[in-house]
Chain A
Amino acid sequence: MVIAEDFDVIIIGGGATGLGTARDAVLRGFRVLLIERFDIATGATGSNHGLLHSGARYAVTDPESAKECIGENIILRRIACHCIENTGGLFLTLPEDDLTFQKEFVNACVNCGIEANVLSAREARHLDPSVNPLLKGAVRVPDGAIDPFMLSAANLIDAREHGAQIWTYHEVKGIIRRQDKVVGVEVFCHKTRERKEVYAPVVVNAVGIWGQQIARMAGIDITMQPNKGSMLVYGERVNKMALNRCRKPGNADILVPSAAVTLMGTTSIDIPFDEIANAKVTPQEVDLLVGEGEKLSPALARTRILRAYSGVRPLAVVGTHHSGRSISRGIVLFDHAERDGLEGYITITGGKLMTYRLMAEWTVDLICSKLGVAARCTTAEKPLPGSQEERVSVNKKMFSFPSLLRRSLIQRHGDRAIQIFDFISVLWGQRKKRSADKLLARSVLCPCEEITSGEVLYAQKELGISNLMDLRRRTSVGMGECQGEICICRAAGLLGCNKEEVIHFLQERWKGIAPVAWGDALRESEITEMLYGGVCGFKNESR
């Protein structure tokens, strides 16, 4: 047992909320430690559908959430512009929908402060030719697309650069209590297989759906309702704008264009706790998503589905038990001193990716009042790393980099592309004419996503990755059309990973492909099987 140094705040959970809280707290001068069981954005954050809500979706049913969304929407466009695509959004009224709802919808939007313009069917088709041509009407709202991985990574980088400690692959094994006060946590490091104790006057539980277990460790009861949402990834960018159905929020009615793909979501099914870790996308869900998706944009019928995935919404039950969509998706902040008489312990849960910053702000405000510190929140003004410089000037600084590679690098890292470019340039410009590093620096490792070996080496050195799955979250290696068929062995060879990791990666990818294994998806999978099982002779021993 090692006793580590003291902190002011310990945050458990490395999703967007946890990372946002870490950043906020460190910017207000606290000594911060964040503990995450796996890697960042492995839970609900990483399986988000990537819609930058304008709030319109909730305007009718949950005006409070809608107002939070539009407020955060405006802030995120400013502080995280490199993670956001300003696509705009349309709420379509399809032949089977009731056009009278449109009026109620627009009124609700206006009341929440969301700009909503009614368009004719013709105008809508003109704005986005991929929409169902039979539509009756449409409303334009300021929706967009947001990349949850980039957003989490940017928060991580900023928190770390301001002095926060981020411990990934550390699992919380216990909460240390002294009488009616939480004073620290007991953690287990999966890499060194070491137990540690860390102390801080405030511990924040930001683990989303696993909040129930973490709370119980401190002897507190909170009830979470795991609610699964499944999504499909189409291999092409079919629509220009984020498409929604103009009706009360229901199943399978969002279609979001994101980078080179389109995401179709989502379903909503309550699941028991023991299914969270291996939530599966069922054939019924796939059929529902495929069918409803084609209604929004008929071109999807001819588009390849890359994979299916699901996430579990961290819905907290406040008061009596509700389920599914009717449960509040609003932010839940428990001060356990007030609620249960346990000092030094805070739970932040519920909410949405959209409101992660607001959740962080509320949490840190509470921490400030607990510790008697008067510090103002600055996260709404300070841009995240990646969004601190204009794209044009970033582009200028990297002009000697081949244009295709440059574009994709900036798209993935915003202004931080310059640092990667500098790193690659150092390798590239080495005096020694014939070195392996030099030859690797600009060679393309992943042809689907135009990722250079230099970028992968940078990720290994600077972005704190410890396996191929982490690499995927930082650089999107293996996320493209081939789903890792070509690039993953290359990346493993380059980074010096072991063979089990390659199999683990392929297994993770296959988990997403199997529910949609037809057409080109099955074809690529057969090639992958032949390549890794046949040519290379890898064996998957797990049951």
Chain B
Amino acid sequence: MTYDVVIIGGGLAGLTCALSTLQKGKRCAVIAGESSMLSFSSGSLDLLNALPDGTPASEPLKAIDTLKQQSETHPYTKIGVKSFIEKAAQAEMMLNELGCKMQGSSLKNHYRTTPVGLAKPAWLSFDGMLATETPDKLPFNSVQIFYPMGFLDFYPRFIAEEWIKKGVQVETVPFFMSKITRIQRIARIINKNNNAEAAAVPACIEQFDKLRELVNRPVYMLATMPPSALGLNLEKILRRKIIELGGDIFTEDKAVKAEWEGNKIKTVYSQKMGNIPFRGEKIVLATGGFAGRGLKATRTGIVEPLFNLDIEQDDNRENRVNTQVLQKQPYMYFGIKTDNSFRAVKNGNVTDNLYVAGAGLEGFNPAEEGCGAGVSVLTGLYVGEMF
């Protein structure tokens, strides 16, 4: 099977990369795994919340200059200021064209509400999610949170606790919901219990747009713990568009080996396609970090399991981790070494046609810097546009 571009990995980076190559009229295949990390999404995408040294960055486009000085290997530094601004705008446009209505922009971060009620900066949030301009102000003075009884992955009590601190009156209203409960019924429940200015529901309720039409006051979506319905929905939309544009997605498959010709990958083999090789002018590796199984830690070191690429890491095992949980973890910075155009490095040599996009890259910390989704989308687009 011969393509212009073969993309390994079906997460956010792989899919956006496929989309941008297809839009340029190239033939493209995606070898996608069972599930992507999009199911762990919060329903919002982040671009840049803080610089590597910890300074908050409320206006990502302005902060990018400083970031460049702080980190040489950061993917955003490699993309460059000009392309960063361009690609961020392009991503916003692309999502809009796909029919994913989003709130927010790369000019200024807004604040989303997390499943436990805290306010966290974000770049884009799905339409309908509660997004505010400042962390301490809500768009209502009283609210009712409606949630399905017995649903364990949503914490109205935590959210109420945080909102009450902000001076808002909160009431939590559990209601009975089964597989066959129709959206009209939920709307009726919300309309009948009209005790507050606004209503909020967990983001696991389908047909939210319809609910918003049927309810007589503002309704907001609140993120839940995974699986994230919004993240999976985004994945579905991206996949659908890729197929529409003529791309091939090999789902629940896994690249297993490659044949090299000097510094160039000649063919890639996958588990399901057996000995039928994928040939591509360019190969993109977007298999993710540790969580997405694109990187693998062993007792002795970190490896990239598919091509055994060079990894930026610390040889001392003790230095890989911070003993305090939820603080700066050194292992998060580890990743595949690339040159400035995201070509992978193997045995000290830059490869000819193997590009890397997404969470597997070196030099950034998605948790501390709040840039996981942004790195995936922007490097995906950047690598895809290059061809």
Identify 9 residue pairs between A and B in the complex whose beta-carbon atoms are under 8 Å apart, listed by A's number. Answer: A489-B116, A489-B153, A490-B153, A493-B154, A507-B324, A535-B41, A535-B226, A536-B116, A537-B120
Contact assessment for B152 and A517 in the assembled complex, using a CB-CB cutoff below 8 Å: no
Taken residue by residue from 512 to 543, chain A's Cβ proximity to chain B (1 for < 8 Å, 0 otherwise) reads as: 00100111001100111111111111111011
Contact assessment for A532 and B299 in the assembled complex, using a CB-CB cutoff below 8 Å: no
Closest 8 A/B residue pairs (Cβ): A439-B150, A510-B325, A540-B326, A434-B176, A537-B118, A518-B297, A537-B120, A535-B42
Stretch of B4-12, B84-92, B286-294 contacting A (4+ beta carbons < 8 Å): B286-294
Contact assessment for B326 and A503 in the assembled complex, using a CB-CB cutoff below 8 Å: yes
Contact of A283 among B114, B155, B318, B331 (CB under 8 A): B318
For window 276-322 of A, CB contacts with B under 8 Å fall at 283, 287, 290
Contact assessment for B152 and A445 in the assembled complex, using a CB-CB cutoff below 8 Å: yes
> Is A262's CB within 8 Å of the partner chain B?
no
- CB-nearest residue of chain B to A539: B326
Contact assessment for B42 and A534 in the assembled complex, using a CB-CB cutoff below 8 Å: yes
Taken residue by residue from 488 to 500, chain A's Cβ proximity to chain B (1 for < 8 Å, 0 otherwise) reads as: 0110111010010
CB distance from A275 to the nearest CB of B (A): 15
> Is B24's CB within 8 Å of the partner chain A?
no
Taken residue by residue from 277 to 305, chain B's Cβ proximity to chain A (1 for < 8 Å, 0 otherwise) reads as: 00000000000011101001111000000
Contacts of A538 in B (CB 8 A): 116, 118, 326
Contact assessment for A506 and B326 in the assembled complex, using a CB-CB cutoff below 8 Å: yes
Contact of A493 among B152, B299, B321 (CB under 8 A): B152
CB distance from B272 to the nearest CB of A (A): 23
> Is A1's CB within 8 Å of the partner chain B?
no
- CB-nearest residue of chain B to A538: B326
Contact assessment for B290 and A536 in the assembled complex, using a CB-CB cutoff below 8 Å: no
Contacts of B226 in A (CB 8 A): 531, 535
A536 and B114 contact, Cβ closer than 8 Å, known pairs A493-B157, A507-B325, A522-B290: yes
> Is A119's CB within 8 Å of the partner chain B?
no
For window 133-168 of B, CB contacts with A under 8 Å fall at 149-150, 152-155, 157-158
Contact assessment for B114 and A537 in the assembled complex, using a CB-CB cutoff below 8 Å: yes
> Is A155's CB within 8 Å of the partner chain B?
no
Taken residue by residue from 357 to 374, chain B's Cβ proximity to chain A (1 for < 8 Å, 0 otherwise) reads as: 000000000110010100
Contact assessment for A523 and B290 in the assembled complex, using a CB-CB cutoff below 8 Å: yes
Tell me if B's interface is mostly helix, strand, loop or mixed: loop
> Is A378's CB within 8 Å of the partner chain B?
no
Interface centre among A506, A507, A518, A542 (most CB of B within 10 A): A518
For window 422-443 of A, CB contacts with B under 8 Å fall at 434-436, 438-440, 443
- Please measure, in the bound complex, the distance between the C-alpha atom of A538 and the C-alpha atom of B324, giving whole angstroms: 13
Contact assessment for A535 and B40 in the assembled complex, using a CB-CB cutoff below 8 Å: yes
- Please measure, in the bound complex, the distance between the C-alpha atom of A443 and the C-alpha atom of B151, giving whole angstroms: 9
- CB-nearest residue of chain B to A529: B367
Contact assessment for A511 and B367 in the assembled complex, using a CB-CB cutoff below 8 Å: no
Contact of A536 among B118, B174, B366 (CB under 8 A): B118
Contact of A519 among B40, B153, B296 (CB under 8 A): B296
Contact of B152 among A443, A503, A506 (CB under 8 A): A443
- Please measure, in the bound complex, the distance between the C-alpha atom of A262 and the C-alpha atom of B298, giving whole angstroms: 20
- Please measure, in the bound complex, the distance between the C-alpha atom of A532 and the C-alpha atom of B158, giving whole angstroms: 14
CB distance from B370 to the nearest CB of A (A): 8
Contact assessment for A523 and B372 in the assembled complex, using a CB-CB cutoff below 8 Å: no
> Is A453's CB within 8 Å of the partner chain B?
yes
Contacts of A435 in B (CB 8 A): 149
A493 and B158 contact, Cβ closer than 8 Å, known pairs A514-B323, A518-B299: yes
Additional A-B contacts beyond A440-B150, A517-B320, A522-B297 (17; CB < 8 A) = A434-B176, A436-B174, A489-B115, A490-B152, A490-B153, A490-B225, A493-B155, A499-B116, A509-B325, A523-B293, A529-B367, A530-B37, A534-B42, A534-B367, A537-B119, A538-B118, A542-B324
Interface size on A, residues (CB 8 A): 49
A453 and B152 contact, Cβ closer than 8 Å, known pairs A517-B320, A522-B331, A535-B114: yes
Contact assessment for B114 and A529 in the assembled complex, using a CB-CB cutoff below 8 Å: no
Contact of B325 among A439, A529, A534, A537 (CB under 8 A): A529
CB distance from B106 to the nearest CB of A (A): 19
Contact assessment for B331 and A536 in the assembled complex, using a CB-CB cutoff below 8 Å: no
Interface centre among B150, B174, B296, B331 (most CB of A within 10 A): B150
CB distance from B350 to the nearest CB of A (A): 27
> Is B332's CB within 8 Å of the partner chain A?
yes
Contacts of B207 in A (CB 8 A): none
- Please measure, in the bound complex, the distance between the C-alpha atom of A503 and the C-alpha atom of B150, giving whole angstroms: 24
Taken residue by residue from 460 to 475, chain A's Cβ proximity to chain B (1 for < 8 Å, 0 otherwise) reads as: 0000000000000000
- Please measure, in the bound complex, the distance between the C-alpha atom of A511 and the C-alpha atom of B277, giving whole angstroms: 45
- Please measure, in the bound complex, the distance between the C-alpha atom of A91 and the C-alpha atom of B158, giving whole angstroms: 53
Contact assessment for B158 and A535 in the assembled complex, using a CB-CB cutoff below 8 Å: no
Contacts of A436 in B (CB 8 A): 149-150, 174
CB distance from A432 to the nearest CB of B (A): 10
Contacts of A439 in B (CB 8 A): 149-150, 176
- Please measure, in the bound complex, the distance between the C-alpha atom of A528 and the C-alpha atom of B226, giving whole angstroms: 11
CB distance from B303 to the nearest CB of A (A): 10
Contacts of B331 in A (CB 8 A): 517, 522, 526
> Is B71's CB within 8 Å of the partner chain A?
no
Contact assessment for A535 and B324 in the assembled complex, using a CB-CB cutoff below 8 Å: no
CB distance from A444 to the nearest CB of B (A): 9
CB distance from A52 to the nearest CB of B (A): 31
Contact assessment for A534 and B372 in the assembled complex, using a CB-CB cutoff below 8 Å: yes
Contacts of B320 in A (CB 8 A): 517, 522
> Is B182's CB within 8 Å of the partner chain A?
no
- CB-nearest residue of chain A to B113: A537
Contacts of B321 in A (CB 8 A): 514, 517
- Please measure, in the bound complex, the distance between the C-alpha atom of A356 and the C-alpha atom of B385, giving whole angstroms: 70
Contact assessment for A519 and B293 in the assembled complex, using a CB-CB cutoff below 8 Å: no
Contact assessment for A506 and B150 in the assembled complex, using a CB-CB cutoff below 8 Å: no
- Please measure, in the bound complex, the distance between the C-alpha atom of A416 and the C-alpha atom of B119, giving whole angstroms: 43
- CB-nearest residue of chain A to B370: A534
- Please measure, in the bound complex, the distance between the C-alpha atom of A348 and the C-alpha atom of B366, giving whole angstroms: 52
Contact assessment for B289 and A526 in the assembled complex, using a CB-CB cutoff below 8 Å: yes
A533 and B116 contact, Cβ closer than 8 Å, known pairs A503-B325, A517-B321, A527-B291: no
Contact assessment for B158 and A499 in the assembled complex, using a CB-CB cutoff below 8 Å: yes
Contacts of B40 in A (CB 8 A): 527, 530-531, 535
Contact of A523 among B41, B291, B329 (CB under 8 A): B291
Contacts of A529 in B (CB 8 A): 325-326, 329, 332, 367
- Please measure, in the bound complex, the distance between the C-alpha atom of A543 and the C-alpha atom of B328, giving whole angstroms: 12
CB distance from A44 to the nearest CB of B (A): 22
- Please measure, in the bound complex, the distance between the C-alpha atom of A538 and the C-alpha atom of B176, giving whole angstroms: 30
Contacts of A443 in B (CB 8 A): 150, 152
- Please measure, in the bound complex, the distance between the C-alpha atom of A542 and the C-alpha atom of B149, giving whole angstroms: 35
Contacts of B236 in A (CB 8 A): none
Interface centre among A493, A509, A535 (most CB of B within 10 A): A535
CB distance from B20 to the nearest CB of A (A): 25
- Please measure, in the bound complex, the distance between the C-alpha atom of A509 and the C-alpha atom of B158, giving whole angstroms: 22
> Is B55's CB within 8 Å of the partner chain A?
no
For window 328-343 of B, CB contacts with A under 8 Å fall at 329, 331-332
- Please measure, in the bound complex, the distance between the C-alpha atom of A443 and the C-alpha atom of B320, giving whole angstroms: 38
Contact assessment for A532 and B176 in the assembled complex, using a CB-CB cutoff below 8 Å: no
CB distance from B327 to the nearest CB of A (A): 5
> Is B30's CB within 8 Å of the partner chain A?
no
Contacts of A496 in B (CB 8 A): 157
Contacts of A440 in B (CB 8 A): 150, 152
> Is B64's CB within 8 Å of the partner chain A?
no
CB distance from A92 to the nearest CB of B (A): 24
Contacts of B42 in A (CB 8 A): 534-535
> Is B223's CB within 8 Å of the partner chain A?
yes
Contact of A532 among B119, B298, B318, B326 (CB under 8 A): B326
